[in-house]
């Protein structure tokens, strides 16, 4: 099988997905705007060929270069696991006659309004919503839905440019910050805990799924610099309180007609137990949440995905051994990382449970926490017991401090 992967070197986990395809027996071709020399070594070692394009967003030019380079080779699959490239992948599939998400299907994953309309029609509970392209329409929608509301880009990913609006004064203050966003989704604010439903599907069937818990929900974490956000991949996905959300996740996959590959859904559980859809992407979650799945189940999730899209089956026997918590840290101060507090004590208490530590070393400029969840690095730890996992995660969140000067 010949598989084309879009942007095999970026974002950070794309090299592992490229490896997963190659180890599943595929001949893997790559297309991207990175120079060949800039590709990670793992990517270069797994690709049969690589087409560098000036811009991934000039579809006709991408098609022409692919035709010229791959002349004589037939593509069997075209894969993209990076949010901005989902529509490009669909356009390439249509042009080359390759199965997978069509342009119409991909549009429902990228356009939050089209997504929710499709799910409304399938009887799935979504927040009350409206798509607007002007300040006047935004005011009208907010008044009709009722405060508080959430404003977010129609085609956004993550919680960038997303705001909770409590009042008319809030709306008046925030609208100027969204002038660069062409179309905005105005949604009912759903007050509840926020979870994920992440899947690898085969032939429209969910072959593997993961449920993670955001602590706190991303909108709160994105609004408060002092918070150390946590994502916790849960071991007990069969817990009673999760079952309505898991069922909804399966229903969403079916309603949107997703065939094979990775999806990442977010959903809410209200205090009264009602579950409400959030959004879904035809891609894996970011911020190394796929690695959480690997450490939770001790399996090669990247190769499993590769098998799903190339062979139509998976041979991994998935056993859930651990809860896995990732705690993302943000430095205090401005400038370069200067020092840490609490590291030695935490290492002594919990070091045996830490599986990954990416904290920036001293001397490196601190990152802009508004632009990346990973911020100034993270600590990933695991434990079979959820209460123990949360205790360790909270200790890292509160006792580990990074200072920049």
> Has residue 123 been placed in a domain?
no
Indicate whether 97 pLDDT > 80.
yes
- What CATH number did the domain enclosing 155 receive? 3.30.1490.20
Give me the sign of the Cα torsion angle 6, 11, 12, 17.
Answer: negative
Indicate whether 73 pLDDT > 90.
no
Domain residues for the domain of 24 are 2-100
Mean pLDDT of 271-295: 97
Query: Which one, of 345, 352, 372, lies nearest residue 360 by Cα?
Result: 372
Mean pLDDT of 73-85: 95
> According to the model, what pLDDT value does residue 159 have?
62
Mean pLDDT of 5-30: 97
* Secondary element (H or E) of residue 44: helix 41-46
For the chain, give the mean pLDDT. Answer: 96
Indicate whether 286 pLDDT > 80.
yes
> According to the model, what pLDDT value does residue 155 have?
76
Neighbours of 166 (CB within 10 A): 12
| DSSP for 300-335, written as a single string | -HHHHHHHHHHHS----------EEEEEE---BSSS
What would the two tokens of residue 256 be? 């949107």
> Has residue 184 been placed in a domain?
yes
> Has residue 110 been placed in a domain?
no
> Could you report the per-residue pLDDT of 146-188, keeping only the tens digit for each?
999 999 998 766 667 889 999 999 999 999 999 999 999 999 9
> According to the model, what pLDDT value does residue 112 have?
87
- The verdict on 343 and 252 lying in the same domain is no
Indicate whether 352 pLDDT > 80.
yes
Mean pLDDT of 52-69: 96
The whole-model pTM stands at: 0.93
Residue that finishes a domain, picked among 301, 321, 341: 321
Mean pLDDT of 108-126: 95
Indicate whether 262 pLDDT > 90.
yes
- The verdict on 352 and 279 lying in the same domain is no
What are the distances in angstroms from CA 372 to CA 366, 376, 401?
Answer: 11, 9, 18
> According to the model, what pLDDT value does residue 154 have?
86
Question: What whole-number distance in Å separates Cα of residue 37 and Cα of residue 378?
Answer: 28
- The verdict on 218 and 312 lying in the same domain is yes
Q: How many domains does the chain have?
A: 4
> According to the model, what pLDDT value does residue 160 have?
72
Give the pairing of strands 2-6 and 77-79: parallel
Buried b / exposed e along 120-131 (16+ C-beta atoms within 10 A)? eeeebebbbbbb
Mean pLDDT of 274-295: 97
């Amino acid at each position: 099988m010949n598989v084309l992967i879009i942007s095999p070197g970026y974002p950070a986990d794309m090299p592992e997905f490229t490896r997963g395809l190659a180890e599943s027996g595929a001949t893997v071709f790559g297309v991207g705007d990175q120079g060949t020399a800039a590709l990670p070594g793992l990517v270069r070692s797994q690709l049969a060929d690589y087409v560098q394009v000036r811009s991934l967003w000039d579809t006709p030019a991408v098609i022409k270069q692919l035709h010229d380079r791959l002349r004589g080779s037939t593509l069997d699959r075209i894969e993209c696991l990076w949010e901005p490239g989902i529509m490009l992948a669909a356009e390439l599939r249509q042009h080359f006659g390759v199965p997978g998400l069509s342009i119409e299907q991909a549009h429902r994953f990228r356009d939050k309004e089209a997504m929710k309309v499709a799910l409304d029609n399938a009887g799935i509970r979504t927040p009350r919503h409206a798509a607007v392209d002007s300040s006047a329409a935004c005011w009208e929608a907010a008044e009709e839905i009722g405060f508080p509301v959430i404003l977010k880009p129609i085609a956004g990913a993550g919680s960038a440019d997303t705001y909770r609006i409590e009042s008319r004064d809030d709306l008046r203050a925030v609208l100027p910050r969204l002038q660069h966003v062409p179309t905005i989704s105005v949604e009912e604010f759903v007050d509840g805990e926020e979870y994920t439903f992440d899947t690898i599907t085969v032939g429209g069937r969910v072959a593997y799924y993961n449920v993670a818990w955001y602590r706190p929900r991303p909108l709160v974490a994105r609004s408060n610099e002092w918070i150390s956000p946590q994502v916790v991949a849960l071991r007990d996905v069969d817990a009673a309180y999760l079952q309505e959300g898991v069922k909804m996740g399966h229903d969403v996959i079916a309603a949107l007609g997703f065939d094979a590959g990775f999806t990442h859904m977010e959903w809410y559980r209200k205090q009264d137990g009602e579950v409400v859809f959030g959004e879904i992407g035809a891609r894996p979650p970011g911020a190394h949440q796929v690695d959480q799945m690997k450490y939770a189940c001790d399996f090669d999730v990247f190769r499993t995905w590769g098998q799903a899209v190339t062979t139509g089956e998976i041979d991994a026997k998935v056993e859930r051994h651990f809860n896995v918590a990732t705690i993302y840290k943000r430095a205090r101060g401005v400038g370069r990382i200067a020092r840490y507090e609490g590291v030695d004590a935490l290492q002594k208490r919990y070091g045996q449970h830490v599986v990954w530590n990416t904290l920036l070393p001293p001397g490196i400029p601190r990152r802009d926490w508004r632009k990346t969840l990973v911020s100034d690095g993270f600590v990933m730890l695991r434990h079979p017991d959820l209460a123990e996992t949360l205790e360790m995660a909270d200790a890292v969140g509160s006792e580990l401090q990074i200072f920049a000067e």
